[in-house]
């Protein structure tokens, strides 16, 4: 019995020593790899610039080179940079493949403040999800805001612009709330209709007589404020788009709980259904290898 007790005690001491040894090896050995950055808060060194930011302070790109006003070249005055796609945009910026001309334009033309040149959240890039028959086209980047174009093989085309909350609020106030509150616009009639529970506003400008049909669409966490504009008569080159039943253009002011964006549609062949409009959405960009931006 005495021998058995000694054996059990020896086993317990040995087990405790092994546990301590393993713990020390784990703490001194190679640590698990950390992600390069986490969504919403990161700092990435890329080539000769750094991308960094967080939701509270915003997102910035800071260059190691100080670009002077004399570095500006003709054609750099436009406020955006064109890419073939969101994938082309993400890989070009994140892999350090911006051209010198693009870097100068970002540093000198993009919006900036005391913290740096303002940019978008590269941990949360969004790609537009399109209805069947639509294809992705060019991509434009302008600081914190970016726009993706799309269209059909026919005449219908459009774009979606992803905003920050502040820039979205300003856009919504200017182009939705105050769209008809201008000296150049004369409103002649307002009415409420049962179709889509919409408000209909008839108005005229110096170039056309129009009507605006406004209503709300809600699906899950998506809320779309829809503004359909119809060209009732035109005094210029747009006469081929005059119609009381087919919208001349449609603007959708959209939120989904995390993103703020505006969808614009032009040259439609018929009035879209509510279901078709709701097929437009945003999805977090994922590169071809399956790694998230």
Sheet holding 116-119, edge to edge: 42-46, 49-54, 58-63, 116-119, 112-113
What is the value of pTM for the model shown?
0.83
pLDDT of residue 239: 84
Residue pLDDT tens, the chain, 293 long: 444 344 334 444 344 344 434 444 444 444 433 344 455 678 889 989 999 999 888 999 999 988 877 677 777 778 899 999 999 999 999 999 999 989 999 998 999 998 889 999 998 999 999 999 999 999 999 999 999 999 998 889 999 999 999 999 999 999 999 999 999 999 999 999 999 999 999 999 998 999 999 999 999 999 999 999 999 998 766 788 999 999 999 999 999 999 999 999 999 999 999 999 999 999 999 876 444 45
Q: Domains in the chain, ordered, with CATH?
A: 42-119 (no CATH), 126-284 (3.30.530)
Residue 61 neighbours by CB under 8 Å, 6+ apart: 49, 50, 51, 106, 110, 116, 117, 119
Q: What is the pLDDT of residue 38?
A: 52
- The span from the CA of 207 to the CA of 223, in Å, is 32
pLDDT of the residue at 154: 82
> What does the alpha-carbon distance between residue 177 and residue 60 come to, in Å, rounded to a whole number?
30
Element (H, E) at 12: helix 2-28
pLDDT at residue 6, rounded to an integer: 44
Q: Which pLDDT score, from 0 to 100, does residue 211 have?
A: 97
User: Encoding tokens for residue 123?
Assistant: 């941990």
């Amino acid at each position: 019995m005495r021998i058995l007790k000694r054996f059990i005690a020896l086993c317990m001491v040995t087990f405790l020593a092994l546990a301590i040894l393993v713990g020390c090896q784990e703490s001194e050995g190679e640590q698990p790899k950390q992600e390069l950055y986490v969504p919403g808060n990161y700092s990435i060194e890329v080539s000769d610039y750094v991308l960094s930011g967080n939701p509270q302070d915003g997102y910035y790109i800071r260059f190691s080179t100080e670009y002077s006003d004399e570095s500006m070249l003709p054609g750099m005055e436009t406020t955006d940079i064109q890419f073939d796609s969101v994938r082309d945009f993400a890989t070009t910026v994140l892999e350090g493949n911006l051209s010198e001309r693009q870097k100068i334009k970002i540093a000198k033309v993009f919006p900036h403040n005391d913290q740096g040149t303002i940019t978008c959240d590269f941990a949360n890039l969004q790609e537009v999800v399109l209805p069947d028959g639509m294809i992705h086209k060019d991509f434009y980047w302008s600081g914190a805001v970016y726009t993706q174009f799309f269209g059909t093989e026919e005449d219908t085309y459009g774009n979606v612009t992803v905003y920050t909350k502040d820039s979205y609020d300003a856009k919504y106030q200017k182009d939705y709330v105050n769209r008809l509150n201008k000296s150049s616009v004369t409103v002649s009639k307002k009415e409420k209709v049962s179709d889509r529970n919409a408000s209909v506003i008839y108005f005229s400008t110096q170039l056309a007589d129009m009507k605006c049909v406004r209503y709300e669409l809600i699906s899950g966490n998506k809320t779309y404020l829809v503004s359909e504009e119809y060209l009732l008569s035109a005094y210029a080159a747009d006469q081929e788009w005059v119609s009381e039943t087919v919208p001349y253009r449609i603007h959708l002011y959209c939120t989904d709980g995390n993103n703020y964006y505006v969808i614009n549609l032009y040259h439609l062949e018929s009035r879209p259904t509510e279901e078709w409009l709701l097929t437009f959405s945003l999805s977090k960009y994922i590169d071809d290898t399956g790694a998230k931006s």
